[in-house]
Amino acid sequence: MNRLSLKTRTQIVTAMVEGNSINSIVRMTGAAKNTILKLLADVGWAAYTFHDRTVRNVRVRRLQCDEIWCFVGAKAKNVNPDKKADGWGDAWTWTAIDADTKLCISYLVGGRDSGWAYEFMQDCARRIRGRVQVTTDGHKAYLEAVEGAFGMDCDYAQLQKIYGAPSDEEARRYSPARCIGCDMKVVSGNPDPKHVSTSYVERQNCNDAHVDATFHPLDQCT
C-alpha cells in the first residue's frame, strides 16, 4: 500500500465513499484487492481516531438513536464454534445522530443486549454537554441504559413503529413489512412531541445497510 501514489489512494477512497464494491475498485484503479483492503482498514482506524478525539463536549438538543443488524463472516446460524470464537456471526451497529446537525455523536458495533446498550449510551453521555432530548425505538435495553447514562438530565421518549403485512401473497413473499403507525411513550422528563422521531438516524442506517461491520464485533468506540 505504501507504493500507491497519493492520487491513487485518493481515487480508491473516493470510490469507497461513493459505494463502489472492492472488486469494481480493483478494476477501476488496477490496485490489488489486498492493497485496497489494507487501505480501507487504515482509513477506518484514522476515521475512528479522529471522531473519538474531536466529537467531545458537543451541545446536542435532540439525539436520535437506533441499531441495525449485519453480520461478520456469516450469519450466526451458519457459524461453527471455531469461527464464533473468532468473532463471526451476527453484529449490531448502534448509532446516535444529532437531529439538527446530522453529526454522528457515537457508534458501536457489538451485540444487542442491555450490556451493549449501556456502553453505547454511556459513550453518548460522555460526548454531550447540557440537557438533551433522546428518542429511541422500543428496544427494552434502552430503558435502563438511558437512565444510567443521563439520569434526570434528559427528556426521553420511545417511538415504537407498528408494522402490517402486505395485502397479497406475492407481496408478503418479497416485500418488507409496511409501517402503518407509531406508538409514542414518554419515559422521563418532558420531551417535545414534535421532535420525537428517529427518521434521521434510520436514514443513516439505510446508508450503512450495504456495508458489513468493518471492525471486530468486540471493538467499541469508548
The residue ranking higher by pLDDT, 218 or 73, is: 73
Q: Is 177 helix (H, G, I), strand (E, B) or coil?
A: coil
Residue-wise pLDDT tens digits, 158-193: 998 776 766 666 555 556 667 677 788 999 999 999
Residue percentage of the chain with pLDDT more than 70: 85
Question: Domain locations in the chain?
Answer: 1-54, 58-208
The set of cell numbers assigned to 81 is 464454534
Write the pLDDT tens digit of every residue in 97-123: 999 999 999 999 999 999 999 999 999
In sequence order, the β-bridge partners of residue 185 are 158
Q: Do 1-54 and 58-208 agree at the fold level?
A: no
| pTM exceeding the 0.85 threshold for the entire prediction | no
Could you tell me the end-to-end alpha-carbon distance of the chain, in angstroms, rounded to an integer?
Answer: 29
Q: Which residues pair with 155 in a beta bridge?
A: 133
3-state secondary structure of 74: coil
Cell of 116: 451493549
Per residue in 30-63, pLDDT (tens digit) is 999 999 999 999 999 999 999 999 999 999 999 9
The CATH architecture of the domain made up of 58-208 is 2-Layer Sandwich (3.30)
pLDDT of residue 58: 97
Select 1-54's CATH number: 1.10.10, 1.10.287, 1.20.120, 1.10.1740: 1.10.10
